[in-house]
Each structure stands twice: as C-alpha cells, then as structure tokens.
Amino acid sequence: MTAAGPTTTPGPEPTADELRARTRRFLAAHPPAGTDRAAFLRARFDAGLAWVHYPQGLGGLGAPRSLQAVVDAELQAAGAPDNDPRRIGIGLGMAAPTILAYGTDEQKRRFLPPLWAGEEVWCQLFSEPGAGSDLAALGTRAVRDGDTWVVDGQKVWTSSAHTARWGILIARTDPGLPKHRGITYFLCDMTDPGVDVRPLRQITGEAEFNEVFLTGVRIPDSHRLGAVGQGWEVARTTLMNERVSIGGMRQPREGGMIGSVAATWRGRPELRTHHLHDRLLTLWVEAEVARLTAERLRQQLAAGQPGPEGSGMKLTFARLNQQISALEVELLGPEGLLYEDWTMRRPELVDFTGRDAGYRYLRAKGNSIEGGTSEVLLNIVAERVLGLPSEPRDDKDLPWKDLAR
C-alpha cells in the first residue's frame, strides 16, 4: 500500500478574487442562518473550501495555502460555523496531512471528510512508557493474521483518547530489523473492544491525557497507512506537522498567554514594578517575533511538507509559555497562587483562556514535553537546521530484539 495521487486532475490555481467570488456563491447557495451546521460543513468540504491547498475532491482546490485566509474571511463575515478546530486539532494538524501524503484514494475519501467536519475525533497512539523521547524503540507489536493485524501493547500521554473515534498508531511489525525499519503505521478504531483508555491525572488536577492499553486489537490491512515497514517515515511526516501545528499556530497580536499578562498589566496598575515592566516588554517583543516567524513558516509550507524548522518554533512556543506564565504568577503576587477549579475533569481540549493564572503556570510545564521533548527538538535543530554532527548512536543498525531494555 503506497501513497496515492489526488482524486482528480488539478486545474489552474484560482486567484484570490476567484476564491472570494466562489465563496460568496457558496454562501448564497448555503446561507449559514438557514443551513444545518453539519450539512454546511460537509457542503463546504465538497465545494473545495475546507483547506484550499488540498487536491480537488478532497476538500480543496489545489490553491496556494495562503489563500485560505481569503475564504475564511468571507465565511467569518457571513457568520458561518467553523469546524471547532481546537477540538479536532490532532485530526486536522497531524492525521489529515499524513493520510493525504500516504493514504490510498479510498482512505482519503473515507477519512478526510468526517475528520475535517469534526464528525470523527482523532488521537495519536505513538509514545509508550519505555519509548517516549526515543520513539523508535517502541515495543507495541502488530502481527499479521490474514487480512488483519493483531495489535498488543501500551501507549501513553494520549490526548483526546477518551473522546476519539480513530487513532493514528505505530507498531512494531518486524522485531528482527533495526528499530527504525521494523515499524508500520495504522489507523486504529478506538471503539474496538481491545482498546482500554484510562485517565492520567496531571498536576493541574485534570485528565486530558490518557494511557491506552491495546489487547488483541484487530486492524484490517486496508487501514494500514504506507507500506509494511515504512512506519517511521510516515510517522516523521506526522511529527513534523504536529510541531508546526503546536508552535506555528496562527495568532493575532497579543494572542495566547502574552495577551492575558498584558491585560492584567493594563488593568491592574497597582501591581506594576520597574523590574516586571522590563521583563514584560522583553517577553512581549519575543512573543511578537515568534508570531511573525510562525507566519513566515506557514507561508513556506505552501512549497511543500513542513521541515525541521517546525521543531524550532515548537521549542520557542514552550519556552515562551513557561516564562510568560511565570511572570503572570509573579505579577499577581499572592493572587497568582489561586487555583479555584482544582477538580478531576476530563476536558476534550486544552483551554488556557478564562482560567486562573495558577492553571496556566502549571499546564505550561507540559509544553516542553508534548509534541516532542525540548531536548530531542534541540538535537533536530542542531543536526537538520544548523548542520552540526549528529550524536553517536551505537544501536542504529542492531535488530530491535537485541537492544537492551
């Protein structure tokens, strides 16, 4: 099973004016006020206005990625519903581009429409208790049984597993090969009776993460993504897109955590000191630089798949969030220690807004772990961006079954 091309032959790239006119015609045919939300989103996908840079027939028009903003502006002005992108971020930012790159035509047609419309939530089944930073050391096994694969193992730190319909899964299919070469990539049905999702309570008191136990889970070979043994290559596509979606998300000026601190600074003049003023200005400038750099990175994506630059953006995202949330707690003094909603909750998504400063401070600690630890990302930037020599690896060519664990 190898990557397949677009469903239809692409035509000439539309211009911004043509996209604007096309969107207005769509809105006239599907007025948001009188159209069911689910029907509107499905129709938007079919019209090629979901993600315009995707191929025709798969929610797009083969247009430059930058023109999505033209479509979004018209839809927003008309009060059109969106697909709740934060709730389905893993599907949009990680599963979809991987399915597009490696899926068959049948897989693309089956999974992309409900994924984009938010009808099916996705999760990522990659990390394991003994294979987090060294993901290629994973031990979850997939054994072929005719036209299906039987999967046994454990995954951990799985966001949204408790709400997900599907999971992107990598498992070891040949333990006799070196660790990077014996892995295969699957699309896992989270409703299979062998899938057991258990909450992991975090320092915030919430349980947005999960551990997932896989016992005799049967996956049809038609839900394999890419060739047998090609899983590491496919997974790298997912990981590169994940880091861009985390660190390179589109933000307005003073979006994200810096906006909360700036609002407190303006509204609470009694809290200000010269020392905190200097720190706030420095972080404000760094946040704005990061925002503009992320915008440039998104423009570069129009030329192809994301590269290692996304790792640098994700590094910056984690560092800034932790420094800004620490400043906010210090600015508020004793108030910064308040955390009123310390309860065992199972949120569908992470929400930094409308919460106490203490929550943001605690939750930001996870930013340097999720989506790739900062230590691993530093190595990626060093080797693939700066061209520095890679660290010595004495296990690269050893069969996985012979590795010390």
What is 353-372 written as a DSSP string?
A: TTS-HHHHHHHGGGGGTTTS
- Catalytic-residue membership of 74: no
The answer to whether the CB of 337 falls within 8 A of the CB of 96 is no
Please give the full DSSP string across 56-99, using - where no structure is assigned: BTTTB-S--GGGHHHHHHHHHHTT-----TTTTHHIIIIIHHHH
pLDDT digits (tens, 9 = 90+) for 197-220: 999 988 888 888 899 999 999 999
pLDDT value at residue 150: 98
> Residue 314 corresponds to which amino acid?
K
3-state helix, strand, coil in the chain (%, to 5): 45, 15, 40
Q: Which residue has the tokens 């008191």?
A: 205
Question: Which CATH code fits 122-229?
Answer: 2.40.110.10
DSSP-assigned letter for residue 16: H
Each residue's pLDDT tens digit, 128-165: 998 877 899 999 999 999 999 999 999 998 989 999 99
Cβ atoms within 10 Å of 44's Cβ, excluding its own: 25
Given a cut of 50, whether residue 245 has pLDDT beyond it is yes
Any idea where the domains of the chain sit in the sequence? 16-116, 122-229, 235-385
- Assess contact for 246 and 315: CB atoms under 8 A: no
Which one, of 323, 335, 318, lies nearest residue 280 by Cα? 323
Q: Residue 386's Cα: distance from chain center in Å?
A: 25
Catalytic residue among 242, 309, 375, 383: 242
Structure token pair of residue 152: 């046994």
Tokens of 61: 């028009």
pLDDT bin (cut points 50, 70, 90) of residue 373 is: confident
pLDDT digits (tens, 9 = 90+) for 261-286: 999 999 999 999 999 999 999 999 99
The CATH architecture that domain 235-385 belongs to is Up-down Bundle (1.20)
**Which CATH superfamily groups domain 16-116?**
Acyl-CoA dehydrogenase/oxidase, N-terminal domain (1.10.540.10)
- Sequence-separated (6 or more) residues with CB below 8 Å from residue 334: none
The pTM score is 0.85
